[in-house]
Amino acid sequence: MPGSALHAELNAVRTAVSHALAEVSVASEFGQFWIRSACARLAAVDAVLTEAAGVVSMPAQALVMGAVSFAAVLVSTGAARAAGLGTTGTLIAAVPALLVVAAVTPWAGRRIRMALGRRRLARLPMPQVPGPVLITVPDFLAQTRVRLVSAALRHVGSKRWTSPELAFAARVDPVTRRLAEADLLLCQSIDCLERYLHDLAKG
């Protein structure tokens, strides 16, 4: 699936999730455990899908990581030489710089993906998705999940739909991994809301 098509699908899912979250958030028992749990998971779905839209290709990631590591080593070795350290000291000085880069990379990478994802999704027109009422939110989210799973399968490719292949794709492909995480969060939010409505019906 082309990136633009995937982003359009993610935008549609995010819009549906935002409608559901808005409806659940105004529930009269917002402080109730199942309602709070559903809201937390729906908010997490939006963040995960935004990050999925901001994933860049592996070659681009490797290029950026190499450039950052090279710059860190260059700065640290330059400072070591300026301080009058010998060759051994200069080489040793590069190690902390690389460790800092390795430690900061996951934190910085997520923020870059979030920013890039928001930018990519903001370019797309906002889809018109009718919002649900509270009692229909679980079914509404189940339909939204179908759309998410369909987008994930098309992203992976129709020739790789066996369980082992999908599991492998979720391990090695950062986009598929995030779509699988969003699917799990959707399932959990549906379970929370169904439990809440069940308890409500029992009085």
Unique residue bearing structure tokens 């379970």: 191
Question: What per-residue confidence (pLDDT) applies to 40?
Answer: 94
- CB-CB neighbours of 135 under 10 Å: 12
Which pLDDT does position 170 carry in this prediction? Answer: 86
Among 17-31, 75-89, 123-137, 170-184, top mean pLDDT goes to 170-184
135 versus 191: which is more confidently predicted?
191
CA dihedral 105, 102, 69, 47 (to 10 degrees): -10
The answer to whether 113 and 51 have CB atoms below 8 angstroms apart is yes
Q: At what angle do helices 163-172 and 174-202 cross, to 10 degrees?
A: 110
Report the pLDDT value the prediction gives residue 117, as an integer from 0 to 100: 86
**pLDDT exceeds cutoff 90 at 131:** no
Give the residue with greater pLDDT, 47 vs 163: 47
pLDDT at 78: 72
Token pair listed for 144: 């939204």
pLDDT given at position 176? 92
pLDDT at position 72 over 90: no
**Looking at this protein, which amino acid is placed at residue 39?**
C
**Lowest-pLDDT range of 108-112, 119-123, 177-181:** 108-112
Expressed in angstroms, the distance from the first to the final Cα of the chain is: 47
Q: What values do phi and psi take at 200, rounded to 5?
A: -65, -40
| Cα–Cα nearest to 73, from 107, 37, 98 | 98
User: Is the pLDDT confidence value at 148 over 90?
Assistant: yes
pLDDT of residue 186: 96
The whole-angstrom separation of Cα 53 and Cα 4 is 9
Q: Is 16:140 a contact under the CB 8 Å cutoff?
A: yes
CA distance 11 to 106: 25
Least confident of 60-64, 76-80, 103-107, 109-113: 60-64
Does residue 30 surpass a pLDDT of 70?
no
Token reading at 84: 């009058």
